[in-house]
């Protein structure tokens, strides 16, 4: 017997989705009613759900399985006809987007805190993706948040837990639960976009690669596609089994957290190519032998070489990047005669551009690259696109990037993060920057052309987003940008983005930290970083 139980509840404060969904410590999510309130708020905010199909899965972190069971029972109580759930509760974020689109479902719920650590004392997260496959736009997340503040009860089916490990369809009360292979649909899509035969030939010729799945969700995808379909030797994928605590690591593919991979690519006898992905599989880092490709450059290089890939052979419609991302991609767009878009931080802002056919490729400096094939950034997709380019060009990664700089000039770029600083101090710093009148002022050797708090009007739906980061732009086009992270769960994180255009190839080999030293010093001074946060140095430099 199964019955729907209505459970009385009271609102929790702060169930406000951030840059990418609601993220909190696991212990916060495990409080009675906490997850349930938020899930009911989603179901109450997205329109009629009766008879619809929902996709469900997550990055496999601690609490993923338990949360799946709760959500399934609540979906059944809400009247969904069916939930498609990835086997074992596993579904990478881009694969979830792929499945939502392919089966035209009424969106999906993704359980992930992305690159944040996992485990009993670490982070958990949940977000709703709309039927187009992308993260819910702000109007929807605002509605969900408003609902969390007013919620009085939620509904849940009283039933035993369902088996999530065996593929197949079973009943949960009146609702069907289809447990499916989380890799198959995604792998099929990748095979259509890229020249798998050429990449197979590349590997067959002795090309060597290391892919660091960081004990996170991309492991099964990378193993099936790289080692299975593309014939890369066994062992190409490292840390390929998803763990609830990501092996105790921080599954963020950057130079600091993916150091195991970095050491291999910069070590003796390094392979030709290295890549890593994050907790939920939407981020990527790309390395050549002894060479690091910044995400901003990666977007630009992929855009410039896109027509080498079957899925993009017809050319690109446009390129979109988030505001703090370097303008390297804009130069490619200009050369291709296609539009370039500058959006606020967060993948959700690309959705309307992709849906309207205005942009094909999108990217963020935060190791996010993607295209109109899904509505999320896609780590393994970016890696496969690089492999396709490498298979076609047969040149080392470093040579490809240097040739790109020689042709377009180099947007020298770096991001400095100050993590875990006091929230009041962080807000004070931003207020201080907002209050400055800098236009025409000289800072060091630079003159300020303008400074503002970035605001964006979506060219498709006209929605306006304000306070998206302080930009100080200098007369030579150099700039420093300041914003506070919207994804953290403890204190505040200040992000400082520094960029300078360098047309002279004789200076392209310089270390960005040296080339940008003056601008970095200016950024620290103008924002009074040390005085206000007590930090003399950033926590992470990328
Ligand atoms: C960070 C990145 C941003 C990305 C988001 C989700 O957000 O900076 O580009 O879209 O994670 O992966 P932030 O913490 O800066 O708000
Ligand atoms: Zn992620």
Active site residue 114: yes
Q: What does pLDDT average to over the chain?
A: 96
How many residues belong to the chain?
A: 542
- Residue of the nearest CA to atom 11 in ligand 1? 487
Residue 300 CA to ligand 1 center (angstroms) comes to 19
**Does 415 sit in the ligand 1 pocket, CB within 6 Å?**
no
202-233: pLDDT as tens digits: 999 999 999 999 999 999 999 999 999 999 99
Question: Of all residues in the chain, what percent carry a pLDDT higher than 70?
Answer: 100
What is the model's pLDDT at position 412?
97
pLDDT band at 165 (very low <50, low <70, confident <90, very high): very high
pLDDT level of residue 19 (50, 70, 90 thresholds): confident
Question: pLDDT tens digits, residue range 430-445?
Answer: 999 999 999 999 999 9
Cβ–ligand 1 contact at 500 (below 6 Å) = no
Q: 129, 253, 364: which to mutate for ligand 1, most atoms within 8 A of CB?
A: 364
User: How do the domains of the chain map onto residue ranges?
Assistant: 3-182, 186-408, 410-541
- The best mutation among 115, 141, 251, 366 to test binding of ligand 1, ranked by most ligand atoms within 8 Å of the C-beta, falls on 366
pTM score? 0.95
pLDDT of residue 119: 96
Domain 186-408 has CATH 3.40.50.410: no
- pLDDT tens for 403-415 read 999 999 999 999 9
Spatial distance between the Cα atoms of 253 and 299, rounded to a whole number of angstroms: 16
pLDDT, tens digit, 9 for 90 and up, residues 256-284: 899 999 999 999 999 999 999 999 999 99
Q: What is the pLDDT of residue 1?
A: 55
Q: Residue for token digits 């609601």?
A: 22
Residue 488 has pLDDT above 80, yes or no: no
Task: Specify the CATH architecture of the domain 3-182.
Answer: 3-Layer(aba) Sandwich (3.40)
**What mean pLDDT is predicted for residues 194-199?**
98
CB burial of 164-200 (b: ≥16 within 10 Å; e: otherwise) equals beeeeeeebbebebebbebbebbbebbbebbbbebbe
| Nearest ligand for residue 324 CA | 1
Task: Please name the residue whose Cα sits nearest to atom 10 of ligand 1.
Answer: 346
462 vs 348 pLDDT, higher one: 462
pLDDT band for position 348 (cuts 50, 70, 90): confident
pLDDT at 2 over 80: no
Of the listed ligands, the closest to the CA of 278 is 2
In this prediction, residues 346-374 reach a mean pLDDT of: 96
Fold match between 3-182 and 186-408?
A: yes
- Per-residue pLDDT, averaged over 242-257, amounts to 94
Residues 18 and 344: beta-carbon distance below 8 Å = no
- Tell which residue, 82, 80, 108, has the closest CA to residue 94: 108
Strand runs labelled E in 332-463: 340-343, 361-364, 368-371, 410-421, 442-443, 446-453, 456-457
CATH of segment(s) 410-541 = 3.30.310.50
């Amino acid at each position: 017997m199964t019955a729907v139980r209505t459970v009385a509840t009271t609102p929790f404060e702060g169930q406000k989705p951030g840059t990418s969904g609601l993220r909190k410590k696991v212990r916060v999510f495990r409080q009675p009613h906490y997850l349930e309130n938020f899930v009911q708020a989603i179901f109450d905010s997205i329109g009629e759900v009766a008879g619809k199909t929902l996709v469900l899965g997550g990055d496999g972190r601690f609490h993923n399985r338990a949360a799946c069971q709760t959500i399934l029972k609540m979906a059944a109580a809400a009247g969904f006809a069916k939930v498609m759930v990835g086997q074992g509760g596993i579904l990478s974020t881009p694969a979830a987007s792929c499945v939502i689109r392919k089966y035209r479902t009424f969106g999906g719920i993704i359980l992930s805190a992305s690159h944040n650590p996992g485990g009993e004392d670490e982070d958990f997260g949940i977000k709703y993706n709309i039927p187009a496959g992308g993260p819910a736009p702000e109007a929807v997340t605002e509605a969900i948040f408003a609902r969390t503040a007013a919620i009085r009860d939620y509904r849940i089916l009283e039933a035993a837990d369902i088996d999530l490990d065996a593929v197949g369809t079973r009943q949960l009360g009146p609702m069907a639960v289809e447990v499916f292979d989380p890799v198959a649909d995604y792998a099929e899509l990748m095979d259509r976009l890229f020249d798998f035969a050429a990449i197979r030939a590349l590997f067959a010729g002795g090309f060597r690669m290391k892919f660091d799945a960081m004990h996170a969700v991309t492991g099964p995808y990378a193993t099936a596609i790289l080692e299975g379909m593309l014939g890369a030797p066994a062992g190409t994928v490292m840390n390929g089994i998803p763990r609830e605590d990501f092996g105790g690591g921080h599954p963020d593919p950057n130079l600091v957290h993916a150091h195991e991979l970095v050491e291999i690519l910069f070590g003796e006898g390094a392979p030709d190519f290295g890549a890593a992905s994050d907790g939920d599989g939407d981020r990527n880092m790309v390395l050549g032998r002894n060479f690091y490709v910044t995400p901003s450059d990666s977007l630009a290089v992929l855009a410039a070489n896109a027509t080498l890939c079957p899925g993009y052979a017809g050319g690109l419609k446009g390129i979109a990047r988030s505001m703090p991302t370097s303008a390297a991609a804009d130069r490619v767009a200009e050369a291709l005669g296609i539009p370039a878009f500058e959006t606020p931080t967060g993948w959700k802002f690309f959705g309307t551009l992709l849906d309207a056919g205005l942009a094909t490729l999108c990217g963020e400096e935060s190791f996010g690259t993607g295209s109109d094939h899904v509505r999320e950034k896609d780590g393994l997709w970016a890696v496969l696109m690089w492999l396709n380019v490498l298979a076609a060009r047969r040149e080392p990664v470093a040579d490809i990037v240097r040739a790109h700089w020689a042709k377009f000039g180099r947007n020298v770029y770096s991001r400095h993060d100050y993590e875990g600083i006091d929230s009041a101090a962080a807000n004070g710093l931003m207020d201080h920057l907002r209050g400055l009148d800098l236009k025409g002022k000289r800072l060091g050797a630079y003159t300020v052309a303008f400074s503002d708090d970035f605001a964006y009007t979506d060219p498709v739906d006209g929605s306006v987003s304000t306070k998206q980061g302080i930009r100080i732009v200098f007369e030579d086009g150099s700039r420093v940008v300041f914003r506070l992270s919207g994804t953290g769960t403890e204190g505040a994180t200040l992000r400082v983005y520094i960029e300078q255009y360098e047309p002279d190839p004789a200076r392209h080999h310089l270390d960005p930290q040296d080339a940008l030293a003056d601008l970095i010093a200016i950024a620290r001074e103008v924002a009074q970083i040390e005085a206000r946060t007590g930090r003399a140095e950033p926590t992470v430099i990328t």
